[in-house]
Amino acid sequence: MIKKQMNKLLFVKFSLLAAMMLLTGLSARLSAQTPEDFKQRYGNPQSGVYRVREAITAKVKFDHNNQAQEIVVVPLPAGDSPSAMSTATATEVLNEVMPVSRRGKLLKTGAFAASCVSVQAEEYEKVTIDRTIRCNSQGGGVYRLNIRHK
């Protein structure tokens, strides 16, 4: 009986260990920041531009420590009008290329609006994030993410 309980406990421990290892690995993938990280996740870049989704690219500049210094995420153009990402997709990509855990504490926010365009600015301890958004009549959604390390 005791042995059976021990085996069950060991199974739970191993399961937890496996889950932790899986989460660690997943976390490592989700917090891509070096060229290698980006390459593993998104494939080889072309002129510093990674294809992060089917129709979304991320242009990444790395600092001398090979850490992503500036990331600009834009959808590929389609036709004459600027393309836009849905808010959910933009947030998903943002969390991939700049995980919340790497941003630090949120210090400031602000927003600028001019006719069909608005910029939502967030300033964290370690990064600034700007979402440039278009109104629905001109495609609607996020058409650029600017992420910059301080």
Partner 1 sequence: MKKSLICAALLIFISCLAAARSNAQQIYLFSQSSCEQDGVDCASSIGLYGGTIYGYSATEVDYWTSDDYSAYVDGQLYDQNGILLDNEWDEEDFIAEVNTLTSANPGTIYTERGYHDVIARYYYEDIGRGPEGCSPCDGCNTDCYYFYDNWYWSDPFGFSFMNGGYFGSWENVYGFGPPAEIENDETISLGQTSQSVFVGWRITSISPSRGPVGTTVPVIIFGSGFSQFGSNTVSASGYGVTATEVNFISSGVLSANFQITSDASAGNHSVRVTINGFPSNSLNFFVQVPTGLSVVGITVISSSPVHSCWVCLPGNDTGIQIATQYQVMDQHGDPILSSAMAPEETLKNLVIGGVARPDPAPGFTNLGGSCYPTDTTTDANGRFLDAPFGWCAPYSTSSLSVDQAIRMSVGSSHYTVRMQSFTGTSSGPGHGTISNGSDVSASR
Interface residues with partner 1 (CB under 8 A)?
Answer: 72, 82, 108-121, 123, 128, 130, 132, 135-138, 144, 146
CB closer to partner 1, 34 vs 120: 120
CB of 102 to partner 1, least distance (A): 19
- Backbone dihedral angles phi then psi of residue 93, each to the nearest 5 degrees: -65, -40
Closer residue to partner 1, CB minimum distance, 36 or 125:
125
Q: Which two tokens stand for residue 115?
A: 């006719």
Least CB distance from residue 27 to partner 1, whole Å? 29
Alpha helices in 31-77 (DSSP H): 35-42
Q: Which two tokens stand for residue 32?
A: 């891509």
* Short-list 39, 32, 65, 13, CA closest to 147: 32
77 phi, psi to nearest 5 deg: -65, 145
3 by DSSP, 3-state: which?
helix
Q: How far is the CB of 124 from partner 1 (least distance, A)?
A: 12
In angstroms, the CA 132 to CA 111 distance is 10
Is the separation of the CB atoms in 77 and 144 below 8 Å?
Answer: no
Instruction: Give the nearer residue to partner 1 in terms of CB position, either 31 or 147.
Output: 147
To the nearest whole angstrom, how small is the minimum distance from the Cβ of residue 7 to partner 1? 55
The nearest distance, CB 68 to partner 1, in angstroms, is 16
Nearer to partner 1, 30 or 119 (CB): 119
If the CB atoms of residues 7 and 109 are measured against partner 1, the closer one turns out to be: 109
